Chains A and B, each alone.
Chain A
C-alpha cells in the first residue's frame, strides 16, 4: 500500500494535457521512421506523488498519424492529421513521466500503431484507395519510376531513397498507385549519377539534405506519372545519435 494515495487527475485537466504534450514530443523526437503523430485523446492518467513537487505520471494516449514525415522540420502543431478516408493510422502509447518542480521528463514509453480496418474505409468511401504493403511490387515500381523521373528532370543533387512512408492502391474506376517516400541528397549531381549512381554517397550528417516525395502512377486506363519532391534543407543531427544511423536502424515498429 503506498504511503500516499494516488492523486485524482482528469484526462482533460491542464496538468494531464501538459504531460501528454511532453510525451508526444518525446515520442516524435525518438521515432526514426514514418510520420509524426498528434494527440487524439488521453485515454487514462494515473499520478503517484513521490514527495514535494515530485510525482510519477502514467499516461495512456491515443495518437493519430499526421501528413508530416518524421524528418520534416515542420512543427507538429502545423502538421495535418490524416483524415479517416485517407486510411487513418492510430498509435496507442503507454508513457511513464516524472514531473519534478514542474518539469516533465519521460522515463519510459511503449507504442503500437495500426491502420484502421479496410472494411471501415470501404463502408464510408467505397472507391477510396486503401493502404498497400510497402513491399508490394506495384508500389516499389512506382517509387523507382518516380525517383528516376525526378532525378532525370532536376539538375540539383541526385536523390536517393531513404524509406517508403505510405502507399495506396486504387483499382476502380481507375488503377492508380499513390506513394509517399523520404529521400536524401547525395554527393553527386543528377548528371554525374547517370554514369554510376551506385557510387553516389549520401552526404554526411551535417550537410545532408532530406526531402519528401509524393507520386501517383496511373496504370489503367492510360499510363501517367506525377511526382512532387520537396527538400527540407539543412537538418541538425542529434549529437548522441548520428541522424542517418537513426534513419537506417532497423526497428520492429509497425
Chain B
C-alpha cells in the first residue's frame, strides 16, 4: 500500500501545472556531450 500511495502521489503531482517561476530539476540523463553529437 505504501508503494501504491507514493506512485499515485507522484502521478498526481505531475498533473498539476507548475507555478510561475518554477524551475524544473535538471534531467539525470543523458549526460553531457564531450565532443559532438552525430
Q: A and B: real partners?
A: yes
A positions within 8 Å CB-CB of B: 8-12, 16, 38-45, 62, 64, 81, 84, 88, 90, 116, 120
Chain B residues with CB below 8 A from A81, complex form: 35
B38 at the A/B interface (Cβ < 8 Å)? yes
A16: chain B residues at CB < 8 Å are 31
Helix, strand, loop or mixed for chain A's interface? strand
Would you call B32 and A41 a contact (CB within 8 A)?
yes
Residue among B26, B35, B37 making CB contact with A38, cutoff 8 Å = B35
Interface membership of chain B positions 5-38, coded 1 if the CB is closer than 8 angstroms to chain A and 0 otherwise: 0000000000000000000001011111111111
Q: How far is the CA of A109 from the CA of B28 in the complex (A)?
A: 22
- Check B29–A11 contact: CB distance below 8 A: yes
Find out whether the CB atom of A45 lies under 8 angstroms from the CB atom of B29.
Answer: yes
Query: Are B30 and A90 interface neighbours, CB within 8 A?
Result: no
Tally inter-chain residue pairs, CB-CB below 8 A. 51
CB closest residue in chain B, given A90: B38
A43 contacts across to B, CB distance below 8 A: 29-31
A-B contact pairs, 15 of them (CB 8 A): A10-B26, A10-B31, A11-B28, A11-B30, A12-B32, A38-B34, A41-B31, A41-B34, A41-B37, A43-B30, A44-B29, A45-B28, A64-B38, A88-B36, A116-B38
Shortest Cβ distance from residue A57 to the other chain B in the assembled complex, whole angstroms: 13
Which residue on chain B has the smallest CB distance to residue A39? B34
Interface residues, chain B, CB within 8 Å of chain A?
26, 28-38
Closest Cβ of chain A to B24, distance in Å, is 14
Q: Is the CB of B38 within 8 A of A11?
A: no
CB distance from A100 to the nearest CB of B (A): 24
Asked whether B31 lies within 8 Å of A12 as measured between CB atoms, the reply is yes
CB distance from B18 to the nearest CB of A (A): 21
With beta carbons under 8 angstroms apart, the residue of B28, B29, B34, B38 that contacts A88 is B38
- Give complex CA distance A186, B32 in Å: 45
State how many angstroms separate the Cβ of A93 from the closest Cβ of chain B.
14
Q: Is the CB of B35 within 8 A of A64?
A: yes
| Chain B, residue nearest A17 (CB) | B31
Question: Could you tell me the distance in whole angstroms from the C-beta of B32 to the nearest C-beta in chain A?
Answer: 6
Shortest CB distance A211–B (Å)? 27
Chain B residue at smallest Cβ distance from A9: B28
In the complex the two chains form, what is the Cα distance from A43 to B34 in whole Å?
Answer: 12
